[in-house]
Structure 1
């Protein structure tokens, strides 16, 4: 009976760890952004430069531990590794939920968004399963001979690290982001007329000028009690607002594009009825210069022959962007947006979106950007 329970726990934990690691490895750059958030919370920002490497490593480690558990390889060591890893993850998700610091742990990437408490609950169940495995680690027996086992672990390690490196260099295999190919961005930004807004609870701090009494009261209690009719009670300080029920939120809620003077160009650029290239370089100081030069030459040819409009989106200052444009003799127009949505648009710096009528027709990492002839033959020449 105990052996059967151990097997059940091994299968459940192993598959979930492989799935979790694989989903995050599909977008290691996105996972690294989450790690940076945690680094900022715990004041260890000196690790920011290692975030991507750590993201790829943790994803690979999850998949390796899950696979090793399933085939019974290195049972005692894997049991210890799983226990330490799940304790670490459980602490992080509890801290996020309790102190409301990182509102999405990225456990399953953007594929399955979880609230902090959902993430903590998931990790708590995993912790119980892993503790049972750990206490019965002597019952974990290998399914294969040592030589075969070593070969399988080596291949699993190559795959686990390889998938993270590949998706970082060539974009996620499956795009779960709202800017994926086929998405109509203006539609993704719309809020329906009957949409339910966020519901907040507002708390007022009151002071009675006559008696000196003080009390805190919510906005509903404030109206219901009629205390506002008593002129002796006055509101002191700023009221506090707490979200108690999440309302409708569009898939794209934080993208605002402007020029150097602050004029809003979001609708004009995203709703262009003709083919246009959106070049995303959220950090010009870290963008690949060779790729920018290649994209610049490509945009010049497309504009001259097909009147394709090309714009560069960045979160840098107008002064830095102007200097960058002069240094690279950019042909494209420059517009500005916050770095967070730009990082979400495409996991590359720079990355390129080909759009028409507000719809993302193509999306590329600078490593995989097609040449002029391919773009014309496959897309622009068919308009």
Structure 2
């Protein structure tokens, strides 16, 4: 029985660390997922939407820290009880998603691993059983190292997690699991395979007032997309820097386009106010948020292949 408890301890600790890490490198993605859960059509808790990012960060960091704490045996009772609370929350969310078919991807493993709703629910059922099994035999969870060393390891996991979160928010995710990662070819990502699955990129379009310009843009050799998913929420301090970058890029032979999901009047006001030297096309907001975790952000394409992505805060690092 002791061996079973220790195996469960390793499985639960490792899964929580892995689950936390793949979301830690992209906290904005988890923010979007909780905004979806809090929306009117799902849990109808819209008053929580402004708090989606801090809520997501807290849960992500808690997953990693508690996973580490379980593995090293730090404050076993507190750790296991905290894991029980988190797994019961996840269990409810995944059951709700699967039963009512509300959120087709819970985001439990970020964009790294996609599970179907019922697969995710059964995974959480298994984790729930293991955690409560560990809790029933909590006396067997002993510290691996000395008391102080265990505390230091847990503290380090907290500090490192917070550091990675800050970096990912200030710049871009340190690991990009999405179909729009650097090196990915967008046209290839739009192709249907023989397996019948929907391709990873299935909602990419760049529309002007009349046509979808995506097919011709994806054939161009030197293209820069300035992605502004929602101009109402954009950081306006970015636009003077973006104008300078765009002027420089155009002088070097690049074709520059803005892309936004905002209404035409807001687009025209922004373009006029900051004297932006490029046409602004329309694309779905969800697609733009998936393309880059920055508002605004910059993506450079070469014949449909993504060769560079930058948050506007790192625009000076772009080499044209």
Instruction: Judge same fold: TM > 0.5, yes or no.
Output: yes
Matches within 5 A, 1:166-205: 166-191=167-192, 195=194
- Tell me the equivalent position of 1:67: 68
Query: How much does 1:176 deviate?
Result: 1.1
> SS of 1:285's equivalent?
helix
- Tell me the equivalent position of 2:38: 39
Residue among 276, 279, 290 paired with 2:237: 290
Aligned-residue RMSD, C-alpha: 1.4
- Tell me the equivalent position of 2:249: 302
> SS of 2:206's equivalent?
coil
- Tell me the equivalent position of 1:364: 310
Residue 253, structure 1, aligned to residue 202, structure 2: yes
> SS of 1:299's equivalent?
helix
Residue 375, structure 1, aligned to residue 313, structure 2: no
Q: 1:142-193 CA distances to partner (integer Å, 9 max, x unpaired)?
A: 223333232222211111222222222221222111111111112221336x
TM-score, scaled relative to structure 2:
0.95
Instruction: Answer whether contact 1:23 1:111 (CA < 8 A) is retained.
Output: yes
Find the aligned partners of 1:36 and 1:302 in 2 and give their Cα distance: 36
Instruction: Answer whether contact 2:241 2:315 (CA < 8 A) is retained.
Output: no
Query: How much does 1:357 deviate?
Result: 1.0
Matches within 5 A, 1:209-224: none
Instruction: Answer whether contact 2:222 2:255 (CA < 8 A) is retained.
Output: yes
Query: How much does 1:118 deviate?
Result: 0.7
> Structure 2: which 5+ runs fail to align?
none
> SS of 2:237's equivalent?
helix
Instruction: Answer whether contact 1:299 1:331 (CA < 8 A) is retained.
Output: yes
Find the aligned partners of 1:134 and 1:318 in 2 and give their Cα distance: 57
Find the aligned partners of 2:184 and 2:133 in 1 and give their Cα distance: 45
Instruction: Answer whether contact 2:245 2:315 (CA < 8 A) is retained.
Output: no
Find the aligned partners of 1:307 and 1:333 in 2 and give their Cα distance: 16
- Tell me the equivalent position of 1:339: 285
Find the aligned partners of 2:291 and 2:154 in 1 and give their Cα distance: 35
- Tell me the equivalent position of 2:2: 3
Matches within 5 A, 1:209-288: 247-259=196-208, 261-272=209-220, 274-288=221-235
Find the aligned partners of 1:249 and 1:146 in 2 and give their Cα distance: 51
Query: How much does 1:286 deviate?
Result: 1.5
Find the aligned partners of 1:132 and 1:66 in 2 and give their Cα distance: 16
> SS of 1:263's equivalent?
coil
Q: 1:35-78 CA distances to partner (integer Å, 9 max, x unpaired)?
A: 11110111111111111111111110000110000110010011
Instruction: Answer whether contact 1:276 1:309 (CA < 8 A) is retained.
Output: yes
Q: Number of paired residues?
A: 318
- Tell me the equivalent position of 1:235: none
Query: How much does 1:265 deviate?
Result: 1.2
Find the aligned partners of 1:96 and 1:255 in 2 and give their Cα distance: 26
- Tell me the equivalent position of 2:19: 20
Find the aligned partners of 2:34 and 2:210 in 1 and give their Cα distance: 32
Residue among 296, 305, 309 paired with 1:350: 296
